[in-house]
Amino acid sequence: MANALRQQAEAARAAGRKLASLSTGERVELLRAMGEALMREKDAILKANEADLRDAREAEARGEMSSALVARLVLDEKKLATLKDGIDAIAAQEEPLGKVLSELEMAEGMILRKETAPIGVILIIFESRPDAVPQIASLALRSGNGLLLKGGSEAARTVRAIVDVLKSAIEPKISGDLFALVETREEVRELLALDDVIDLVIPRGSNALVRSIMSSTRIPVLGHADGICHVYVDEEAELEKARAIVLDAKLDYPAACNAMETLLLHRSLVRDGRALTILDALKAANVRLYGGPNAVESLGLEPAADLHHEYGDLAATVEIVDSLDEAIDHIHRYGSAHTDAIITESKENAARFLRDVDSACVFHNASTRFADGYRFGLGAEVGISTSRIHARGPVGVEGLLTTRFKLEGSGDLVGSFSRGERSYTHKRLL
């Protein structure tokens, strides 16, 4: 089986190379064909989805599946139309490939360009939501990459139907091997060992999924293992602004990775009562509060079991700090370098926080919930990365790109330079 999987990955790479050699217009045409095929073949897709849903509802009735999970499985004509619109939006974006990032005259008659290029073969693993398939497939196509896809088993029939439709939409022009469907966990396990033919793994789903993949492969993983986001309310914060941001950061979507998990309060807020206004508002919204050592002592909160903890729920850790430096130290020590915010009217403190907090996203007077590809204007989001390598924070299509150096010479030899007959000019043209 490992051999068949390796062949699949190699076929996806070959198809990706062919795809990257097409013109922009041809790739755009393929994207439009994919969107149109989704609508034309909607009956087959919705029929497969009904079969998945029937099983899922039976599992729900037996108490083996949550209704939230069942709800995320549902596709209908309206959703398919939205997915087609999403593909068309990706088709309308600027060409991501072959963008010249720098240009240098190395020496007379030698021009070196650094250009964007596809990464190669990407393995994407996602849980139930079948809408992810057309989105990620169109991003991969736009960026010239081959794709191996593994969906959740609850959505198996829907995912297969969608992949079949997308394959036949591109096939007149390019091999359907560009998109390969992976159906079992065993296959995923074997694919994760193929670090010589797969270049990047993108898990989309729970932190548990991401963490388990990160710990079982040598292939680079684009994802976030933890989202322990802090909001620090500074001595010079405006109370109403702070209260509103803290509530938004915690309540807007508590299960999200960019939701606030820890609230840091400057001690002066405890002294003058502003802290209570904020804490009361959280309590009124049914948020359970757990204290760090100082908050336990000064506010009588129940102690938090661990200051490095992601609740993902209506709960938060609260701690009191004596200074901005202490807040920054706390974030470095207990955070996950995902997204952290300062609420303050002091420009100086804000500048220091934004300079010194070593996280993927650092915000001033804004909710941590803004850390998101769509909100950041990246178009479709590939994922959020807490890795410090390759791509960090919300990642758009550039997460699926690498670079190549192209040198245009005129018969140039290194020997001529080492013998001193010629010399480098290193003139920056772009």
- Binding residues for a copy of itself, per CB under 8 A? 14, 17, 20-21, 98, 104, 106, 110, 112, 117-120, 199-200, 218, 220, 238, 241, 244-245, 248, 252, 332, 350, 354-356, 358-367, 369-371, 375-377, 388-390, 392-394, 402-415, 417-418, 424, 426, 428
Judged by CB, which is closer to a copy of itself: 19, or 31?
A: 19
CB 360 within 8 A of CB 258: no
* Nearer of residues 29 and 356 to a copy of itself, judged by Cβ: 356
How many angstroms separate the CA atoms of 107 and 51, rounded? 65
- Rg of the chain's alpha carbons, rounded to an integer? 25
> Would you give the DSSP letter of residue 301?
P
Neighbouring-strand partners of residue 343: 233
248 or 261, CB closer to a copy of itself? 248
**Which one-letter DSSP state was computed for residue 62?**
T
Q: Nearest approach, Cβ of 125 to a copy of itself (angstroms)?
A: 17
Residue 47 or 218 with smaller CB distance to a copy of itself? 218
> Cβ closer to a copy of itself: 1 or 389?
389
Nearest to 238 by CA among 281, 269, 267, 271: 269
Minimal distance, residue 403 CB to a copy of itself, in Å: 5
Torsion angle, alpha carbons of 141, 144, 148, 150, to 10: -40
According to DSSP, the residues that pair with 337 across neighbouring strands are none
The DSSP secondary-structure symbol of 368 reads G
The residue whose two tokens read 């849903």 is: 53
Which residue type occupies 118?
A: P
- Minimum Å gap between C-beta 163 and a copy of itself is 24
Question: Cβ 413 to a copy of itself, closest distance in Å?
Answer: 4
Q: In degrees rounded to 5, what are phi and psi of residue 124?
A: -115, 130
Least separation in angstroms between CB 426 and a copy of itself:
4
Q: By C-alpha distance, which of 259, 280, 284 is closest to 269? A: 280
**Separation CA 338–CA 347 (nearest Å):** 23
- Nearest distance from residue 343's CB to a copy of itself, in Å? 8
Query: Quick one: 29 or 252, whose CB is closer to a copy of itself?
Result: 252
| Shortest Cβ 402–a copy of itself spacing (Å) | 5
Least gap, CB of 199 to a copy of itself (angstroms): 5
Cα–Cα distance for residue pair 202/264, rounded to 1 Å: 32
Q: Smaller CB distance to a copy of itself: residue 153 or 402?
A: 402
Strands (E), 33-91: none
Of 95 and 417, which has the nearer Cβ to a copy of itself? 417
Are the CB atoms for 281 and 261 separated by under 8 Å? Answer: no
Structure tokens, 334: 């207990």
